[in-house]
């Protein structure tokens, strides 16, 4: 099975000025493409060759895990962004209030977790089987599917995600992320 590059649901230039076309050309067009190509090369003639990507993420180690998770994580991340600024839908707002005190408190805690994550990684919002929400920092290619959790949102805090637009200013990148976060997608994932 050849894994395709996850599709972008918007044009490369449509997230500017929060995320530039140049960032997407490199981040989506080069970094993600490399993970997809590596995954497809590494799984040939292994037990992972015909496995769905989520199952590879749950069971593989080393390079196969890293490239499978980076492929999936980036698709999920890019599909969590939208050119159209949104209000937080009511059901999602209520879930965030129940779990974190308020939607604003969720944004603040998630942002602080992203700011203080050391090195390269991802910050996740994920739900357990009862729908309880957790903010989970993961290093490198980490993904909460491995803990049996349902991913709701992720933010890429590898330097390659923000260095073109924001240089070393991760805090500015995190602030911009909330301008393009797709809250409707998050609600659909949580309740879907
Ligand atoms: Mn990335």
| Interval 1-37: pLDDT, tens | 999 999 999 999 999 999 999 999 999 999 999 999 9
21-79 maps to which CATH number? 1.10.287.990
Query: In this prediction, what percent of the chain has a pLDDT beyond 90?
Result: 98
- Span from the CA of 93 to the centroid of ligand 1 (angstroms): 28
Contacts of 21 (CB under 8 A, 6+ apart): 12, 13
For the chain, the average pLDDT equals 98
d(CA 26, CA 138): 23
Q: Is the pLDDT of residue 41 over 90?
A: yes
Nearest to 84 by CA among 14, 153, 25, 19: 14
Quickly list DSSP for 129-146. Answer: TT--EEEEEEETT--GGG
Using CA atoms, how far apart are residues 120 and 178, in angstroms rounded to an integer?
A: 20
Residue range 61-75: average pLDDT?
A: 98
CA 74 / ligand 1 centre spacing (Å): 6
Would you say residue 192 has pLDDT above 90?
no
Ion ligand 1 neighbours (CB, 5 A) are 156, 158, 161
Domain segments of the chain as ranges = 21-79, 90-191
Q: Which CATH architecture has domain 90-191?
A: 3-Layer(bab) Sandwich (3.55)
Task: Quickly state the pLDDT bin for 40 (edges 50, 70, 90).
Answer: very high
């Amino acid at each position: 099975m050849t894994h395709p590059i996850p599709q972008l649901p918007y044009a490369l230039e449509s997230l500017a000025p929060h995320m530039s076309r140049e960032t997407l050309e490199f981040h989506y067009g080069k970094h993600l493409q490399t993970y997809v190509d590596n995954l497809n090369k590494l799984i040939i003639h292994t037990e992972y060759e015909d496995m769905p990507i989520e199952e590879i993420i749950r069971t593989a180690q080393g390079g196969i895990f890293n490239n499978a998770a980076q492929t999936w994580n980036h698709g999920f991340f890019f599909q969590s962004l939208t050119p159209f600024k949104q209000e937080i839908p009511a059901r999602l707002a209520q879930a965030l209030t129940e779990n974190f005190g308020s939607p604003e408190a969720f944004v603040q805690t998630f942002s602080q977790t992203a700011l203080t994550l050391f090195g390269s990684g991802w910050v996740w919002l994920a739900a357990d089987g009862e729908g309880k929400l957790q903010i989970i920092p993961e290093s490198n290619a980490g993904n909460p599917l491995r803990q049996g959790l349902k991913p709701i949102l992720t933010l890429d805090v590898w330097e390659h995600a923000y260095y073109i637009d924001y240089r070393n200013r991760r805090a500015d990148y995190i602030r911009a992320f909330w301008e393009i976060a797709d809250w409707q997608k998050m609600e659909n994932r949580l309740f879907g």
